[in-house]
Amino acid sequence: MELECLNTIECNQGAVRAVRFNVDGSYCLTCGSDKKIKLWNPYRSLLLKTYGGHGNEVHDASGSCDSSQIAGPLRRLRGHAATVTCVKYNEESTVVVSGSLDNTVMCWDIKSRSQTPVQTLKEAKDCVSSVQVTDHEILTGSVDCTFRRYDLRNGRLDADFVGAAITSVCFSHDGQCILVSSADGIARLSTKPRERCWESMYTGHKTDDVSIESAIITNDNFVLSGSVTGGIVVLGLGYCGGGKKVCAHPWESTEFAQHTSKEGYCADVFGRHDQSLGATRGRKRASRN
């Protein structure tokens, strides 16, 4: 997979803690250590709006399915006893799921005026570092070295211990795999989480003591991971071992978002600790047989 750097934007937010596309990839959100969220047109390097009023560093943000709301700045939901580390909408954007340093995951009905979460998940033994949501599942990763999958339809919880603090979790886009990135510098791909069977283990990126995010691109062909050595590491899905580093720069790549554009490209925006974000583009390849 070939990637080229399209643009670098100076965010002036201190360290960029998270970067997220909206649902169609037209805009992106950046979360900074300056306690603000900024809304960008990343293709024109145009700042559209700045959201303030947060009491701490902003670690994550999420846009609704119609791009009319942002989980975080537009409405305050109070309930966590510590800093919120991750937040996601469900597919209909009727529920917000948040994880926190207080070891809990809370589900909020944003259609209601209530300030009380509709459900609180307390299984984590340490802070919740990552959360993903589908139409019937909630996937969480925690510093207690365990990722948990909550099946809301069947009322079932599946948990698996990986042996290192988890920095990010995500589903593949076909819903059949789970990618778990951890502080030991390994991204693990699981196709049978209930049987504790790891399909692939990817290396080549360095994490050190930085929370690094990994993800599977939209066509499920490649795994992308940030690295403290600079740039994004590209790893072929289904192939174990090291990856190829692309888009190198002198600071850590910690967070990134990606989507597939209408022209058939995989576009990525990645956050860095040097107050900037970079934009890359790679041409899609056909799936391997």
What's the predicted TM-score (pTM) here?
Answer: 0.78
Write the pLDDT tens digit of every residue in 1-45.
666 677 788 888 888 888 888 888 888 898 888 889 999 998 888
pLDDT at 255: 53
Measured in residues, the chain has a length of 289
pLDDT at 43: 85
pLDDT at 1: 60
Give the position of tokens 């709301």. 69
pLDDT at 264: 39
pLDDT at 277: 54
- End-to-end, the C-alpha distance of the chain in Å comes to 16
Write the pLDDT tens digit of every residue in 52-94.
878 788 888 888 888 888 875 445 677 888 888 999 999 888 9
Burial of 219 (0-12, 13-18, 19+ CB in 10 A): middle
Q: What are phi and psi of 195, to 5 degrees?
A: -100, 5
- Domains for the chain: give ranges and CATH numbers: 3-11+69-283 (2.130.10.10)
Write the pLDDT tens digit of every residue in 217-264.
777 778 887 777 767 777 776 554 444 444 444 444 445 555 544 443
* Tokens, residue 223: 């795994």
- Nearest CA to 98 among 76, 74, 69, 130? 130
Give the position of tokens 């992106």. 28
b/e for 94-127, b at 16 or more Cβ within 10 A? ebbbbbbbbbbbbbbebeeeeeebeeebebbeeb
Torsion of CA 192, 196, 200, 201, to 10 degrees: 150
